[in-house]
Amino acid sequence: MKLYESPSPNARRVHIFMAEKGIECERIAVDIRAAENLSAEYLAKNPGGRVPMLELEDGTFIGESVAICRYLESLQPESPLFGESGIEAAKVEMWQRRAELNFLLEVAGAFRNITGFFKDRETCVAEWGQVCAERAPKMLSMFDEQLSQTAYLAGDTFSIADITLAVALDFARMVKVVALPELPNIERWYGEVSARSSFGAN
Amino acid sequence: MKLYESPSPNARRVHIFMAEKGIECERIAVDIRAAENLSAEYLAKNPGGRVPMLELEDGTFIGESVAICRYLESLQPESPLFGESGIEAAKVEMWQRRAELNFLLEVAGAFRNITGFFKDRETCVAEWGQVCAERAPKMLSMFDEQLSQTAYLAGDTFSIADITLAVALDFARMVKVVALPELPNIERWYGEVSARSSFGAN
């Protein structure tokens, strides 16, 4: 099994997930600044041109971080990170999607459109970046409210939703395009999840 | 079990999924034009303010269409629409995400920002709408290429990924903000999936 990757919040999500599961595999660096992910060779493996991507022993390529994590969960189902019962799985999916669509993607939208990081390959609209930068922090109160009632985002158990939100917060702090409010329940929760040994994985 | 909903591509995804599973439930109309989904009462149930939302018998509320579908799959696991083996589940997740993130969300971004449909409650940036409108059709060649090799998006079996892409295509045709190329494999596949009786569900 080989993980094709480049430093990014998505790679970090997969690293943390692998560490939680005690799974290791060969890593292959993809230089996205040099657009290696857009080469014909890479696109034949992963037509979206995204990283990370997982190559399985049978030659199957799995793109999309969450799809990679779901495959890893099937290899090592113990301590489930996608929920176990139908209702748990639905709650994890709900909070994972909220963390990703309503926060991580907004931070990424702000970063890409404000800084023009990928302006050699995409049209950037600074005004849209500002819209994303204003929306992202507003969504945090939803997570803070949830974390005033539960230990982790999807309930009593640590899940992929926590990985996504914590990684997104670290990314937001690093790229500095979004003003992050201090929210007490997120702070309590972030202290706990970021202290897990998996969060040091790289 | 009650489904709170308003006419939208997301509601349609859930309707088709329910019809595929032979599941019925009470429906409650939410008037999103009148911002009923942003009322304190609704937000207490679903803090994202999104529709559709599923209320379970035990009073749990599940937001996010894909989370609702995942719960429905747990009620009726036969003819799985999220894959069965680990590798199938990963492939469904990968293609479902591509259909949603790379196409449905782009069409929605074009629609909302170009038409200003929700301008009473969100900042619209027409230039960003154009970026989305240009990106969305380009992604269709990825799906067409996949469908030249497989019967359905994620392989030999119909899945939620097919529901998402077909509903997104219908939405794109309806809102007319995205120019859709004619692609032979998508056409063959669309003819097949849209002929399923579940696609008439509403």
CA distance to partner chain A, nearest, from residue B131 (Å): 7
pLDDT value of residue B106: 97
Q: Is B65 on the interface with A (CB under 8 A)?
A: no
pLDDT digits (tens, 9 = 90+) for A70-102: 999 999 999 999 999 999 999 999 999 999 999
Instruction: Give chain A positions within 8 Å (CB) of B66.
Output: 93, 97
Q: What is the mean pLDDT of residues B93-100?
A: 98
Q: Which residue of A has its CA nearest to B70?
A: A90
pLDDT value of residue A196: 98
Q: What is the CA radius of gyration of chain A?
A: 17
pLDDT value of residue B48: 85
Classify residue A6 as exposed, middle or buried by CB count within 10 Å of its CB (0-12, 13-18, 19+): middle
List the beta bridge partners of residue B55.
Answer: B2, B61
The answer to whether the CB of A110 falls within 8 A of the CB of A132 is yes
* Residue length of chain A: 202
Q: What is the architecture, at CATH level 2, of domain A86-200?
A: Up-down Bundle (1.20)
Least confident interval from A101-105, A144-148, B33-37, B182-186: B33-37
**What secondary structure letter does DSSP report for A4?**
E
Task: Report ipTM for this prediction.
Answer: 0.96
| Token pair recorded at residue A12 | 């970090």
pLDDT value of residue A48: 85
- Is the pLDDT at B10 greater than 90, yes or no? yes
CB contact under 8 A, B70 and A93: yes
- Give the pLDDT band (50/70/90) at residue B15: very high
Amino acid at B30: V
CB contact under 8 A, A87 and B146: no
CB contact under 8 A, A47 and B145: yes
CA distance linking residue A174 with residue A3, whole number of Å:
24
Of the options 3.40.30.10, 3.30.70.260, 3.90.1150.10, 3.30.360.10, the CATH number for the domain spanning A2-75: 3.40.30.10
CB contact under 8 A, A90 and B68: yes
DSSP E strands in chain A: the ranges are 2-5, 26-29, 53-55, 61-63
The residues near B104 (Cβ < 8 Å, ≥ 6 apart) are: B9, B164, B165, B167, B168, B171
CB contact under 8 A, B89 and A75: no
Nearest to A121 by CA among A53, A9, A32: A32
Percentage of the residues of chain A whose pLDDT score is greater than 70: 100
pLDDT digits (tens, 9 = 90+) for B61-88: 999 999 999 999 999 999 999 999 999 9
Kindly list the domain boundaries of chain B, sorted by start residue. 2-75, 86-200
CA distance to partner chain A, nearest, from residue B123 (Å): 7
- Give the pLDDT band (50/70/90) at residue B183: very high
CA distance to partner chain B, nearest, from residue A54 (Å): 11
The answer to whether the CB of B98 falls within 8 A of the CB of B168 is no
Q: What is the mean pLDDT of chain B?
A: 96
Q: Is B50 on the interface with A (CB under 8 A)?
A: no
| Token pair recorded at residue B101 | 């993130």
- Give the pLDDT band (50/70/90) at residue B35: very high
Amino acid at A142: M
pLDDT value of residue A202: 80
Q: Is B123 on the interface with A (CB under 8 A)?
A: yes
Nearest to B134 by CA among B179, B166, B181: B179
pLDDT value of residue B99: 98
List the beta bridge partners of residue A29.
Answer: A5
Q: What is the mean pLDDT of residues B3-17?
A: 97
- Give the pLDDT band (50/70/90) at residue B140: very high
CA distance linking residue A133 with residue A141, whole number of Å:
15
Residues of chain A with pLDDT under 50: none
CB contact under 8 A, B64 and A93: yes
CB contact under 8 A, A94 and B60: no
CA distance linking residue A106 with residue A109, whole number of Å:
5
**Cβ–Cβ pairs < 8 A, chains A and B:** 101
CB contact under 8 A, A66 and B93: yes
CA distance to partner chain B, nearest, from residue A36 (Å): 18
pLDDT value of residue B167: 98
Measured in whole angstroms, the distance separating CA B44 from the mean position of its chain's CA atoms is 24
Instruction: Give chain A positions within 8 Å (CB) of B63.
Output: 94, 98
- Evaluate the omega torsion of the peptide bond into residue A181 and state whether it is cis, within 30 degrees of 0: no
The residues near B91 (Cβ < 8 Å, ≥ 6 apart) are: A60, A62, A67, B83, B154, B155
Nearest to B153 by CA among B107, B94, B105: B94
Element (DSSP H or E) covering residue B26? strand B26-29
Q: What is the mean pLDDT of residues B20-49?
A: 94
The answer to whether the CB of B101 falls within 8 A of the CB of B168 is no
- Strand, coil or helix: what is A3? strand
CB contact under 8 A, A74 and B56: no
